Amino acid sequence: MYPLSPSDRGGLKTRAKEAIRGTSGVYLVTILYLLLTNVPDLALYRGTIATMLRSGDPEVMVQIWSNRAQTLGAGAALVSTLLSLVLSIIQYSYSQYSLRIGRGIPVNKTDELFSCFARFWDFFVLNLLTSIFVALWSLLLVIPGIIASLAYSQAAFVLMDNPGMSAMEAIRRSKELMQGHKGEYFVLLLSFLGWDLLCG
């Protein structure tokens, strides 16, 4: 693959499209991923969603969805927490699947969506630590929280590439890798804003 500068967003996207076109089954895996990560949540909050639709007022709908956790009982809240944990591992697995495609490594289609479960504890600890650190930085102001999330953004990929590495070491390595590149990565994320709004 030809080398690309981190600021060459057009080149990065072009190469990603080329990698996707050259991989069979990528759309099937993506659809399955979307089903696995969205259907359980929709089922859990089906009552909340029905109330939102009945209201018909966009502002009320947003408020109802924002307060959805409060409408659950203790048992359902526990199920929701456990579900979020499992779904986060599936999200890491899909990220690893995407990384392998980008690197031109052969993939095993739907099996890839569960690849990170073999290191469940490592990714669980990583998810917990990064969430805590970003939350603590966000207590200062919004901007420090955003900077922290950018600094930790590569920790999962570092962990994927280094099976023997701890979650804390992966976070430190991510911070090192992102030194001088947080702005570039932030702009890259902003370039997908239109897609994000469309998905929303």
Q: Report the half-sphere exposure of 136 (CA within 13 A, side-chain side).
A: 6
**Pairwise CA distance, residues 137 & 146, whole Å:** 8
Rounded Cα–Cα distance for residues 126 and 92 (Å) = 11
pLDDT at 83: 77
pTM for this predicted structure = 0.76
Closest CA to 152 of 179, 121, 118, 113: 179
pLDDT score of 93:
92
Q: What's 25's DSSP letter?
A: T
Check residue 106 and give its pLDDT: 84
What are the C-alpha distances in Å from 184 to residues 6, 29, 189? 7, 29, 9
Q: What is the pLDDT of residue 5?
A: 64
The span from the CA of 196 to the CA of 193, in Å, is 5
Rounded-to-integer distance, Cα 155 and Cα 153, Å = 6
Asked if 134 and 145 count as a contact pair (C-beta separation under 8 A), the reply is: yes
Question: What's the pLDDT score for residue 44?
Answer: 67
* Burial of residue 154, with CB atoms counted within 10 A of its CB: 0-12 exposed, 13-18 middle, 19 or more buried: buried
> Residue 171 corresponds to which tokens in the numbers above?
């976070």
Q: Which of 19, 15, 12, 2 is nearest to 184 (CA)?
A: 12
Q: What span, in angstroms and rounded, lies between the C-alpha atoms of 24 and 69? A: 39
Six token digits for residue 5:
């500068």
Confidence (pLDDT) at 20 = 86
Which residues of the chain carry a pLDDT beneath 70?
1-7, 41, 44-49, 64-80, 200
Sign of CA dihedral 46, 48, 50, 53: negative
Residue 179, pLDDT score: 93
